[in-house]
Structure 1
Amino acid sequence: MPMRREAFLSHIQERGRYQTLAEAERAARVVLALLGAHLVGSVRAELAARLPETYALILLNPLQAAEPLSPERFVRATAAWIEGATEQTALWDIGAVLSTVAAAAGASLTREVLLQLPHGYDLLFGEPQPT
């Protein structure tokens, strides 16, 4: 059963300590569009099935990546897509979104997702910590 859109966004809003749902939504769209380019096959489909439909579609129709991005480049790409973001704020956005995605996915699917990603992404799926 996929997480409901409102629950998904309010979880991201809470984790990211955003003022508005719109900020949480913007972070979710960018991070999931970039993440989707890194996942293939049944793992991507299973993850999409656990997300609200809007975000499942973003994950399934990602921004195309020529190559898998290292965690550092994923952070830089996120910062580039979010207006006014820095690498520091992008790291925060990624943590808020990916920790919510991990909660929706559950431990075993999250492990399968991490197997498709370059080394170091486990840190991006952790809880965002205040800097």
Structure 2
Amino acid sequence: MRVDEFLTQVRDRGEYHSQEEAEQVTEAVLWVLASRIVPEEAGELAAQLPAPLDEPLRLERGRPESFDRAEFLRRVAQQTGARPRTAEWDSSAVLSTVADTVSAGQVGQLLDQLPPDWADLFGSTGETATRRHG
């Protein structure tokens, strides 16, 4: 998928006013996600996303931090200047687009590193995540 197609999908899902707003939200969500997953996984995900959207995933962060969904949304809200509820909407718009863009195996590897309650942000059901993690 080309970057303009990716951002159009995020813009439509997030109901943003412009491609620029969709790009800012996408970069913020991916930046926070990259701090939660192992660097190798971030690199594999980056390789499947169109440039320049891969850049937030390629920043050297060291060891991943272990934080829950609420903290993820708090950090996204902090990056975007939004409320946590808006950050959930933003995260879902971006991560469900990521799930539609990258391979199913890549999505599975991501979900394997995250708590089951993150699955819906990627457009997956909790049942799928529970089976994967259970």
Category of TM-score, reference length = shorter chain? 0.7 to 0.9
One-letter identity of the residue aligned with 1:6: D
Deviations 1:67-106 (A, max 9, x none): 22201110111111112x1111111100000001111113
- Unpaired runs of 5+ residues, structure 2, are 125-134
Inter-CA distance 50–66: structure 2 relative to 1 (3 Å threshold): closer
Are the structure 2 counterparts of residues 65 and 22 from structure 1 closer, same or farther at C-alpha, using a change threshold of 3 Å? farther
Which stretch of structure 1 is more off in the superposition, 91-100 or 31-40?
31-40
Secondary structure, in 3 states, of the residue corresponding to 2:86?
helix
Query: With structure 1 as the length reference, what TM-score do the two structures score?
Result: 0.84
Measured in 1, the distance between the counterparts of 2:78 and 2:41 equals 27
Listed one character per residue, the Cα deviations across residues 6-34 of structure 1 (whole Å, up to 9, x for unaligned) are 01111100111111111101110100001
**Counterpart residue number, 1:56:** 54
Instruction: Give percent identity, aligned residues only.
Output: 36
Is 1:92 matched up with 2:89?
yes
The equivalent of 1:124 in structure 2 is 121
Q: 4+ runs of 1 displaced by more than 3 Å? A: 62-66
Counterpart of 1:36 in structure 2 is 34
CA RMSD of aligned residues (A): 2.0
Specify the SS of the correspondent of 2:53: helix
TM-score for the superposition, normalised by structure 2: 0.83
Farther-moved stretch of structure 1 (59-68 vs 43-52): 59-68
Q: Using the TM superposition, name which of 109-118 and 60-69 deviates more.
A: 60-69
2:62 & 2:89 partners in 1: Cα distance? 23
Structure number with the higher helix fraction is 2
Shift of 1:44: 2.2
Equivalent AA in structure 2 for residue 87 of structure 1:
P
Runs (5+) with no aligned partner, structure 1: none
